[in-house]
Chains A and B, each alone.
Chain A
Amino acid sequence: MQWFDALVQGVLLGGMYAQYALGMALMFGVMKIVNVSHGDLVILLSLIGISLASKLGLGPFAVMAALVPLAVGLGWLLQKAVLNRVVGEDPLPSLIATFGLSLALQNLMLQIWSANSRSLPGGGLESRSLAFGGIHIGLLPVIVLVFAVALTWGLDLLLRRTRFGRALRAAASDVEAAAMTGINPRAVYASATAIAVGILGFAAVFQSLRSTVAPSDGGAQLIYAFEAVIIGGMGSVWGAFIGSMVLGVTQAIGFRIDPGFGVLAGHLVFLLVLATRPQGLFGRA
C-alpha cells in the first residue's frame, strides 16, 4: 500500500515536471535550442504571479489568465531579441546567451523580490484532498496532472497536425531548406518559443501554489526539465510527458526509501537511461 501510494504521488509529481518539460521538449527537443534560463523564467513568472495576487487580490486562476499571455509575450521577445541572433547548427551560442540571461534574471529577481521564499495563496485549494480507499490524494496535484495531460495532448496535436507544426518541424530539420519552401524560420521560431514559455505560465502558477519559490530556485526546474526530455527522447512530446512521470515516480519512491534519497534517485535513473538508451525511451536511434 505504501508503495502504491508512492506510485500515485510520483505520477502526480510527474504532472508538475511535465509542465516544465513541455517547453523544453519544444525548444531543446525539436528546435535544438538550449535555453539555460528555462527554470529562471518559471521562477520569474511565479514571482510576478505572486505579486499580482497580493497587489490586486487575484485568485490562482485569475493569475493564470494574466500570466499565460504575459509568458507568451516574454517568449516571443526572448526569441526575437536574443535567440534568433544565435540560432544555427552550433548549439553553443544559444547556450552561452541564455546562460548569461539566466544569471541576469536571477540578479534582477533578487533586486526586485529579495531572496525570501514566497508562495501563491490558493484560497484553500492547496490543502483540499480526495480520498480513494485508503489513499488521500491532494486536489491540487490532480488538477496539475489534468493540466499536464491537456497541455501535452494539445502540443502534440499542434506539432503533428497543423500548418505551424509542420513548418516548425521542417525548420528544425533544415532551416535553409525550410526557407526554400517559403517558411520564414525566424517567425516560426518566435511563435514556437512563445508557446514554450507560454506553457511555463501554467507551470509557474502551479509551482508557486504547491511550494515556495525564491529567485535562486530556477536551476532545479531546469535540470528536471532537461532530464525528462532526455529520458523520454528528443523530439517527442509524449516522450517528455512519460519522462516526467518516470522522474516523478522515481523521486517519490526514493523519498519513501529515505527522504534524502528522492532527488538523487531521479538523477540516478536519468544517468541509467543515458547510459543504456541514450536516444531516450521514445527517441529514434
Chain B
Amino acid sequence: MTDPVLSTHALVARYGDFQALYGVDFQIAEAEAVALIGANGAGKSTFLRAIMGLLPVAPDMVRLAGQPIGGTPTDRMVQKGIAIVPEGRRLFTGMSVEDNLRVAVDQAERLGRKGGWSLARLQQLFPILRDKARTPVQSLSGGQQQMVSIGRALLCQPRVLLCDEISLGLAPKVIREIYAALPEIRAQGTSVVLVEQDVGLAQSASDRLYCMLEGRVTLTGASGAVTREDIGRAYFGGSHAMV
C-alpha cells in the first residue's frame, strides 16, 4: 500500500474521566474508502471526533501525510484538508440550502483550499440541491438534509472525508442514491472514512474495513476478504481476533 494520507497511532481519547478509545491504529490511503463498523458505543464517532480536533489528543496520535496534527482546532483541520459529515447532519437551521453550502465555499476561499468541487458540480451530483436551493434546510426530508451535509463537507475541498452514519434513518432507495455518489468523490482523489451501522453496506462500499469494540480495533482487513464469522466475533467480542 502507498503511504497513508491520514493515520492514527495509539490514539487515546477520553471524555473527562471516561476513556473512550484505547490506542487505535488506523490508516487510509489516497482515494481509498475505509469502513469503520462496530456496535453502538464502540467508539466510532468518538474516533472521528478525535481526528477532527473536537477532543483533546496528542499531536503525534493523528498524522496527515506523516505530519503530526492531533488536537489542532477543528477549523484548522478543515484548512489542512479533513472534512466531516457529522452524525445527525448538523445543518445550519434557519438558513437556506444554498446558504448552508455557501458557508463552506466561503471558508474554502478564505482558507485557500482549492479542489474540484463547486456548487454547480454538487448540484449535478444531487439535483435536489439546485431544486431546493432557496428552501430553509429544516423543511427538507432526512435524505435531502444528508445530501446538503455531504455537499457542505465536499465544498471544504477535503483530502479526507469522514462520514458519520450517513445512512442512519434513511430509506433504502435514498441510501443507494447517496452511496452512488461515492465513486465520484473518490475519483477526485478524496479518501473516504465511512462509519456505518449496516455491515453489508459497509463491506460493499469500502476497500478495507476496521471493526471496533469498546474503544479498540478488533478486526481489520480487506472488505471482500473478511468473513461474516470474523465480523461477528469482532463486533460482539468473545475473542479479540486480529486478521
B95 engages A180 (CB within 8 Å): no
Q: Is A167 an interface residue (CB 8 A)?
A: yes
Whole-angstrom distance between the alpha carbons of A181 and B107 in the complex? 7
B side interface size, CB within 8 A: 31
Can you give 23 A-B contacts (C-beta < 8 A)? A163-B106, A163-B109, A166-B95, A169-B99, A170-B92, A170-B95, A173-B92, A173-B93, A173-B94, A174-B90, A176-B74, A180-B78, A181-B153, A182-B75, A182-B78, A182-B108, A182-B110, A182-B113, A182-B156, A183-B75, A184-B75, A235-B94, A284-B94
Given A163-B106, A163-B110, A169-B94, residue A179 in contact with residue B99 (CB < 8 A): no
The residue in chain B whose Cβ has the minimal distance to the Cβ of A171 is B92
B103 within 8 A of A: yes
Within 8 A of A (CB), among B75-112: 75, 78-79, 83-84, 86, 90-95, 99-100, 102-104, 106-111
Bound together, the chains give a CA A139 to CA B110 distance in angstroms of 44
Min CB gap A32→B, angstroms: 12
Complex contacts, A269 vs chain B, CB 8 Å: none
Interfacial chain B residues near A174, Cβ < 8 Å: 90-93
- The yes or no answer to A178 lying at the interface (CB within 8 A) is yes
Pairwise interchain contact A166-B74, C-beta atoms closer than 8 A: no
Interface SS of chain A? helix
**A116, B88: Cα distance in complex, Å:** 56
B128 interfacial contact with A, CB 8 Å: no
Contact residues, B41-97 vs A (CB, 8 A): 52, 54, 73-75, 78-79, 83-84, 86, 90-95
CB-based closest 8 A-B pairs: A182-B107, A182-B78, A177-B90, A179-B74, A173-B92, A163-B106, A170-B92, A184-B75
Residue contact B90 to A180, C-beta cutoff 8 Å: yes
A173 vs B137: C-alpha distance when bound (angstroms): 12
When distances are taken between beta carbons in the complex, the residues of chain A under 8 Å from B79 are: 182
| Cβ B83 vs Cβ A180 within 8 A | yes
B152 within 8 A of A: yes
A195: shortest Cβ distance to chain B, in Å?
Answer: 18
Contact partner, A183, options B54, B83, B103, B153, Cβ 8 Å: B103
Taken together as a complex, chains A and B put the C-alpha atoms of A145 and B111 apart, in Å, by: 39
CA–CA, A163 and B111, complex, Å? 13
Which residue, A170, A178, A181, A235, has most C-beta atoms of chain B within 10 A?
Answer: A181
Please give the residue numbers on chain A whose beta carbons come within 8 Å of chain B beta carbons, in ascending order: 163, 166-167, 169-170, 173-174, 176-185, 235, 284
Q: In the complex, are the beta carbons of B94 and A182 less than 8 A apart?
A: no
Q: Which chain A positions have C-beta within 8 A of B109?
A: 163
Q: Are A176 and B152 CB-contacts (below 8 A) given A169-B92, A182-B104?
A: no
Q: Which residue of A has the minimal Cβ distance to B102?
A: A166
Contact assessment for A167 and B73 in the assembled complex, using a CB-CB cutoff below 8 Å: no
- Complex Cα distance, B201 from A234, in Å, reads 44
Out of B73, B92, B111, B156, which one reaches A178, CB within 8 Å? B92
Can you name 17 extra interface pairs (CB under 8 A) apart from A178-B103, A181-B107, A235-B94?
A163-B109, A166-B106, A167-B103, A173-B92, A173-B93, A173-B95, A174-B90, A176-B54, A177-B86, A177-B90, A177-B91, A180-B84, A181-B103, A182-B79, A182-B108, A182-B113, A184-B75
Query: Which of the listed residues B78, B91, B92, B153 has the most CB atoms from chain A within 10 Å of its own CB?
Result: B92
A242 to chain B, nearest CB (A): 19
B107 touches A167 (CB 8 A): yes
Residue of B73, B93, B94, B152 near A181 (CB, 8 A) is B152
Kindly provide the distance from the CB of A186 to the nearest chain B CB, expressed in whole angstroms. Answer: 9
Given the complex of chains A and B, what is the CA–CA distance between A90 and B109 in angstroms? 32
The answer to whether A179 touches B95, judged by C-beta atoms less than 8 angstroms apart, is: no
Chain B residues numbered 23-55 whose CB sits less than 8 Å from any CB in chain A: 52, 54
- Contacts of A167 on B, CB cut-off 8 Å? 103, 106-107
CB contacts (< 8 Å) of B84 on chain A: these are 180
CB contact list, B138-165 vs A, under 8 A: 152-153, 156
Residues of B within 8 A of A163 (CB): 106, 109-110
In the complex, are the beta carbons of A180 and B86 less than 8 A apart?
A: yes
**Complex contacts, A169 vs chain B, CB 8 Å:** 92, 94-95, 99
Partner among A170, A176, A180, A182 whose Cβ is within 8 Å of the Cβ of B111 = A182
Residues of B within 8 A of A182 (CB): 75, 78-79, 104, 107-108, 110-111, 113, 156
Complex Cα gap A178–B106 (Å) = 12
Contacts of A235 in B (CB 8 A): 94
Q: Are A181 and B102 in contact (CB under 8 A)?
A: no
Closest A residue to B52 by beta carbon equals: A180
- CB atoms of B156 and A181 under 8 A apart: yes
Residue of B83, B93, B94, B156 with most partner-chain A CB within 10 A: B94
User: What separation, in Å, do the CA atoms of A178 and B92 have in the docked complex?
Assistant: 8
In the complex formed, the residue of B with least CB distance to A30 is B94
Closest to A179 in B: B74
